[in-house]
Structure formats: C-alpha cells, structure tokens
Structure 1
Amino acid sequence: MKNKIHPKNYRLVVFKDINNDKIIICKSTIKTKEYIKINDKDYPLYKMEISSYSHPFFTGEKRFLGKTGPAEKFKKKYEKYNKIKKNYNI
C-alpha cells in the first residue's frame, strides 16, 4: 500500500436511516454538522436516506421510497416530445 494517502482523522460517527430511525455506529471521516447523544456521549450524526435496514434488496419488500428516480425524471422531461411525434406520425 502507498504511504501517507489514508486520512488520520477517523472517529466514531452515528449513521441514522431517516426512513426507520435505525442507527449504525462506526468509524468514519465524514464531515457532519449535527450531533446526537447516545449513552451520555455525543457523536457526530449523519442522516442517510437509505441503508441496509430500509433497502428493498435487503428487506425483501417492494415499496416506494417517495423520491422519483432518474428514469422517472427522464420520462417526465421528454414525454412532451413523444406527444409531438405521435401527432406527426414520426
């Protein structure tokens, strides 16, 4: 491995899944602005939209997470062009 490429500022950080309020505590260098108190100790808090606790692959559930994905945004953006094509039989 190369020397002097890894960060030195690892610390315990709380990663919180905002869909179900589950938490994971592990070492990280991620920058955070919020803190959370667990067992009378303050930890930096990072809020995640999805984790293994809520991802359908890991839970086996099919559910809508509330946000539109890239495919839906693309279809919505270009659906007006499809209407024009149909009118001109292109």
Structure 2
Amino acid sequence: MKRDIHPDYHPVVIRDASTGQEFLTRSTATSEDRVEWADGVIYPRITVDVTSESHPFYTGVARIRDVEGRVERFRRRYRHLGR
C-alpha cells in the first residue's frame, strides 16, 4: 500500500438517533461530540438515523407487500400479449 494516502481510521462510538443505542466501532468519520466509553477512553460520537438496532429488516418488523395480488393484476392486464 502507498503511504500517506489513506484517511485516518480510528475508533468511534456510533449512536442510533431513534433508539439511543450506542456501539464502539472504527471509522474514518469524526465528530466534535465526545463520549466516555466503558473502558474509560473518550471517543468521538457520531449520531446516525438508522442502525441495525432500528432498521425494520433487522428488527423483524418489516412489512411484506401483497406481491401475489400485483402479479395477478399484471397477468390479467397483459394476458393478450402472452402465449
């Protein structure tokens, strides 16, 4: 790898804005907001709108659309083009 071309990759705390859940990870992003973590070290805190703690896919509250009804409507509408 070339030297001095990569951004600084450092530990940060990510905070979910909707649930308040926080976790420690690494990122190239930074923030002026700081938080003291359980290990006693102060890290930059980045607040994001959605994480795996609040995303419907990961929480299991995702809604499933009526795909079968849409397919049947499509087939009825375009059956004259079929075989």
- Is the TM value for this pair above 0.5? yes
TM-score between both structures, scaled by the size of structure 2 = 0.62
Aligned length: 61
1:23-81 CA distance string (max 9 Å, x none) = 12111110211001112221100001111110001111159xxxxxxxxxxxxxxxxxx
Q: CA–CA distance in 1 between the matches of 2:54 and 2:26? A: 21
Point out 4+ residue stretches in structure 1 off by more than 4 angstroms: none
Higher-Rg structure is 2
1:58 aligns to what SS in structure 2?
helix
Q: CA–CA distance in 2 between the matches of 1:19 and 1:29? A: 23
Q: Which one-letter code corresponds to 1:24 in the other structure?
A: F
Q: Which one-letter code corresponds to 2:22 in the other structure?
A: I
Q: What RMSD in Å do the two structures reach over aligned CA positions?
A: 1.9
Structure 1 residue 23 corresponds to structure 2 residue 27: no
Q: CA–CA distance in 2 between the matches of 1:43 and 1:25? A: 9
Q: Sequence identity, in percent? A: 31
Name stretches of at least 5 consecutive residues in structure 1 with no aligned partner.
64-90
2:31 aligns to what SS in structure 1?
coil
Name the counterpart of 1:14: 13
1:2-24 CA distance string (max 9 Å, x none) = 635432x2110000101111112
Name the counterpart of 1:71: none
TM-score between both structures, scaled by the size of structure 1 = 0.58
Q: Which one-letter code corresponds to 1:48 in the other structure?
A: V
Q: CA–CA distance in 1 between the matches of 2:48 and 2:16? A: 5
